[in-house]
Amino acid sequence: MPYRAPLRDFAFLLDQIVGFDQVRATERFTEATPETTQAILTEAARLAEEIMAPLQRVGDLHPARLENGVVRTPPGFAEAFGAIAEGGWLGLAASPDHGGMGLPQTLATAVNDMMASACLALQLAPLMAQGQIEALEHHASAEIKALYLPKLVSGEWLGTMNLTEPHAGSDVGALRTKAEPNEDGSYAITGQKIFISWADNDFTENVCHLVLARLPDGGEGTRGISLFMVPKFIPDATGNPGTRNSLRVISLEHKLGLHGSPTAVMEYDRATGWLVGAPHKGMAAMFTMMNNARVGVGVQGIGVAEGAYQQALAYALDRRQGKTPQGGSGAIIAHADVRRMLAQIKAEIFAIRAIALANSTAIDMASATGFEEWAARAALLTPITKAHGTDIGVETAGMGIQIHGGMGFIEETGAAQYLRDVRVTTIYEGTNGIQAMDLVGRKMMDGGEAAFRLLQEIEDGAEAARAQLPDLAEPVWQAAESLREATEWLVAQEMPDRFAGATCYLRAFARVLGAHYHLKAAQTGEDARRALAQVFITRILPDHAACLAALRAGAEGLYALSDEDLAA
């Protein structure tokens, strides 16, 4: 079954669920009219369906490779990226000051969702550029902005982020890459970075690396790290690629999935770079790119879930096996357990897609209004979007294989590729465990105020729905109240106990949020929306109770097992 963008769901979510009308009402985003929104999503759908989706299997069967120091990308990737660049998709949410469209991040999220469904390996390239564009807009000097942003927005140049080193994964503060001042105000960057997505290609004029490194007077840990722009080719006096910089791709990783996307080991040997942001404040600048990428990576999980669902649905409608209790065509979609898996996947996708779009709406409202409450809402939802979005991507891709039965384990069907490709998303941009710890730690430094505001909205919404949908509204209200009580317990605990239950708490929060959005959808009166909401609220929402029970177990039981006990 060819991929088909879920335009109806996007329109429904934007118009009736996540409050996108508030974004349109701001002075900054007045151009995001319903007509413009429809045109953007329709054209993005065409790009995803017709240009990117045919490359899904191509990238898997013809991986990116390194030949004599040159990265070669899969057949068709160069042309498809050219179409992405020509359409202005890299600069959809970028400032018009440097050639961007200046449209809401919420629309960029919907577009990224479609592109990730179509071909995740290729979609990762524009996603990296989008994050770098935002980081430069917020932190770079006027000179760097003027030189790099127009080229990144146009897609003539591509951007990357260089954090991880062989000895320092999530512990970025342990990095050893150094930056030494040059007499002309630039810096000499020396070190090695690993896991660099789209570190090079054979279709853009230049590749712009944002590299974390330590100045000679930089202290230990993350507080002593600075951020540098280190291009593959040093721009000449006219702003065009000039001298080759002293950096290179040492090797490409042999990965479980995402074969079409080159993931490199990079070496910098006194490469010329320029400071981005203030000295020793590199993590603050890089976090701008990372937070952009965290939402984007969560959306990748959603996109893969959609692609896996569409393929599994097509197989279930066509495959005939055994006698089905409901009769009909005899296809396996009539078997109760197959139908359960399909219904669960569809309900999960709607819930997490709503969370991601609500997250992006909060980001847009924060940037358009400057109101702290919107910024706090966006910050609270970001780790949930990233972690739960990617978890759902992995879980639903696995169910997609299950629906295929034995054929799902056969590579030729393409079902397994979705699971292989999406698996890394739970790891990069901060593992999902780190996202959960961020939620219960940094995001609760306000005593849970942002969380309580959101929970109050959920309870108020459930109260308002009681008269119309009492069977659905009551369990949502009860779940929100349980989560409120758990949050009150959480903020009173020390960090070890918070961290021990962090993953469970994040999942519980996502379950309650998903139920809230499904309940809103059911209130529109559409029978299909109500039926799907019932699937989520009766079959999936109860998971939150088990998660909250695990949360309250604390850390003691985990550390009661010694290292020797675990090894026995």
Q: What is the pLDDT along the chain (568 residues), one digit of tens a residue?
A: 689 999 999 999 999 999 999 999 999 999 999 999 999 999 999 999 999 999 999 999 999 999 999 999 999 999 999 999 999 999 999 999 999 999 999 999 999 999 999 999 999 999 999 999 999 999 999 999 999 999 999 999 999 999 899 987 777 778 899 999 999 999 999 999 999 999 999 999 999 999 999 999 998 888 889 999 999 999 999 999 999 999 999 999 999 999 999 999 999 999 999 999 999 998 888 777 778 889 999 999 999 999 999 999 999 999 998 877 666 678 999 999 999 999 999 999 999 999 999 999 999 999 999 999 999 999 999 999 999 999 999 999 999 999 999 999 999 999 999 999 999 999 988 899 999 999 999 999 999 999 999 999 999 999 999 999 999 999 999 999 999 999 999 999 999 999 999 999 999 999 999 999 999 999 999 999 999 999 999 999 999 999 999 999 999 999 999 999 999 9
Beta strand pairing call for 225-231 and 206-214? antiparallel
**pLDDT tens digits, 128-142:** 999 999 999 999 999
Chain centroid to Cα 338, Å, comes to 28
Give the C-alpha separation, 279 to 204, whole Å.
30
Per the structure block, which two tokens stand in for 291?
A: 């937070």
Beta strand pairing call for 247-252 and 241-244? unpaired
Q: What residues does each domain of the chain span?
A: 431-563
Query: Which residues make Cβ contacts (< 8 Å) with residue 562, sequence separation at least 6?
Result: none
| Res 534: pLDDT | 98
Contact 200, 232 (CB under 8 A): yes
Give the CATH number of domain 431-563: 1.20.120
Beta strand pairing call for 70-72 and 65-67? antiparallel
Q: What are phi and psi of 232, to 5 degrees?
A: -65, -45
| Res 1: pLDDT | 61
Of the candidates 134, 306, 348, 429, the residue annotated as catalytic is 429
Per the structure block, which two tokens stand in for 45?
A: 């759908």
* Active-site annotation holds for 35: no
* 190: DSSP letter: E
| Res 327: pLDDT | 62
Q: Output the CA–CA distances (angstroms, integers) from residue 258 to 82, 159, 166, 195, 416, in the order listed.
A: 20, 18, 21, 12, 12
* Closest-CA residue to 397 (of 318, 335, 306, 315): 306
414: left (phi over 0), alpha (psi -120 to 50) or beta: left
Taking the complete model, does pTM exceed 0.85, yes or no? yes
User: Which letter, b or e, does each residue of 431-444 get, where b requires 16 or more Cβ atoms within 10 Å of its Cβ?
Assistant: bbbbbbbbbbeebb
Q: Output the CA–CA distances (angstroms, integers) from residue 319 to 236, 283, 382, 413, in the order listed.
A: 60, 51, 39, 13
| Res 172: pLDDT | 77
